[in-house]
Amino acid sequence: MGSKQINEGCRGKAQVEISALLLAQLISSGALTGHNCRCLDNNARSTLWQSLLNLSINSTTNLKNAE
pLDDT string in tens for the chain (67-residue length): 455 555 555 577 778 888 888 988 888 888 988 888 888 889 988 988 988 888 888 766 665 566 6
Burial class (CB in 10 A: 0-12, 13-18, 19+), 47: buried
